[in-house]
Structure formats: structure tokens, C-alpha cells
Amino acid sequence: MKIEGSTALVTGANRGLGLAFARALLEKGAAQVYAAARNPDAVTLKGVVPLKLDVTNEEDVAAAARVAGDVNLLINNAGIARPGAFLADGAVQDAREQFETNFIGPLRMARAFAPVLAKNGGGAIVNVLSVSSWMSGPMLATYGASKSAAWALTNGLRIELAEQGTQIVGLHAGFIDTDLTRDIDAPKSSPEEIVRATLEALERGEGQVLADEISRHVHRGLSADRPVYFQSAAELRSHMGRPAA
């Protein structure tokens, strides 16, 4: 689909990757951009329409679909990350919180906006996933599980919404230089790089974005004799020519 003239809604648009998406959509000629956030007062970007939206709240999602009934591009960006391993203290609660935001949230949004997109010609949904959709590790184990579920959701939506002409795009990337990764010592891409790659792929009609080298490397390794998800993060960094932190 074309960005120019589109009407977009970006969740978690008050900062980080969501803010970069909202800014880029305006720059590329979107007719209107709804910038959704739990606290709409936190949205300071000029030219967007602030929208109150907590993706874990069913009433907020329903209200957003009523207010933004002209949307033909939905970017499911809102997400949270809780560091820790599966066997760490608090892992069950961390998993619940992350699944509620990172999986149930996009599911709610897709269910609410699928009829909106159909009415507006099909449009597109972009789900912000992660290289952690494909591999795990003790640093972001429960987070990765929530993103694996979101990847499954993305693939399922692609099939279920094909008939109404809705393009589904799964965005995979490693660490992005935002507040979410402030305390993580690892190579990071800029939000602007990730957004540029995603919107270019969207306009080319693609269904998957491997937005950086680590996501491309991990994707290639999924079908290796020793699959990449058997490896530790240290092994992965070593294979990519980086020191194991």
C-alpha cells in the first residue's frame, strides 16, 4: 500500500519506535496519523491526532475503533519488556504482563480494526515483532515467548485477512536504541533505520521485514543443521563477529 494519502494509527506513539513511525508517516505524506498512547498528553509531535489507548483495555480498543473509523493502516507497536529467565523469580507474572500487552494487545487491535480496514479498502497491519520471536535466552526469555506468540498471530492474520485484501507485515529487528533498551549493552539500530526499512517494505507489498543484520542472520539460521534457536546469545554474537558480552 501507499503511505501518501493514507490514514494511520500507531500504538505506543508517544516515544521510541512508535514516535519514529508517526513522524515518518507524516513526512511521507499520510493524510492523518492517530498517535495512540495510554496518556495522550504524552504525545507532543505536531501534526498528529493524539488518541487515548491502552491496548490491554478492551473498552479503550473499542473506543479507538469508533473514533478512528477512517484508518487504513494500523501499526501495532505498543509493547513492554521484562528482563529475566523462565526459571527466575517472578517469571510467571512477567510472562502474564508481557503476553497481555505484546500478544493479546495486537490481537484485540486486529479484531477491532479488521472491519474498519475492510470498509476502507483492505489496508494493512504492521506488527512490531523481534528477533526474539525466533530464539530465546535468559536475558529476555518471557519477552521472547510473547513475541513468538505475536509472530504466530501475524502469520494467522495474514491468512485470515487475505480475502479482504489486508496486507499483513511482520517486523523483525534486534535491539533498537529506545528507552526500552536503555540498560542493555548490545549493538542497537536507530528507530529511524527500522522505520525506513519497514515502510519501504510495506509500500513494496511485502509481508515480512528483516530490518537489521541480526534479524537476517537469525532468520537464515532457522533451518541450519544446528538451528539458531539452539544457540546462546554469546554464540550468536561470536558467529556474527562480535565479542560475546
| pLDDT at residue 238, rounded to an integer | 62
| pLDDT at residue 245, rounded to an integer | 31
Q: Are 50 and 43 in contact (CB under 8 A)?
A: yes
| pLDDT at residue 233, rounded to an integer | 64
| pLDDT at residue 53, rounded to an integer | 98
| pLDDT at residue 143, rounded to an integer | 95
| pLDDT at residue 189, rounded to an integer | 87
34 belongs to the catalytic site? no
> What pTM was estimated for this model as a whole?
0.93
- Pairwise CA distance, residues 89 & 104, whole Å: 23
Q: What is the pLDDT tens value at each position of the chain, 245 positions in all?
A: 999 999 999 999 999 999 999 999 999 999 999 999 999 999 999 999 999 999 999 999 999 999 999 999 999 999 999 999 999 999 999 999 999 999 999 999 999 999 999 999 999 999 999 999 999 888 899 999 999 999 999 999 999 999 999 999 999 999 888 766 566 666 678 999 999 999 999 999 999 999 999 999 999 999 999 999 998 766 766 666 543 33
Q: What domains appear along the chain, each with residue ranges and CATH number? A: 7-239 (3.40.50.720)
CA angle 242, 140, 108 (to 5 degrees): 130
CB-based burial of residue 172 (10 Å sphere; 0-12 exposed, 13-18 middle, 19+ buried)? buried
Which of these is catalytic: 34, 113, 143, 175?
143
Nearest Cα to Cα of residue 151 among 175, 132, 164, 165? 132
| pLDDT at residue 186, rounded to an integer | 65
Phi then psi for residue 26, to 5 deg, are -65, -45
Coil vs helix vs strand at 136: coil
- Pairwise CA distance, residues 64 & 245, whole Å: 43
- Pairwise CA distance, residues 125 & 227, whole Å: 29
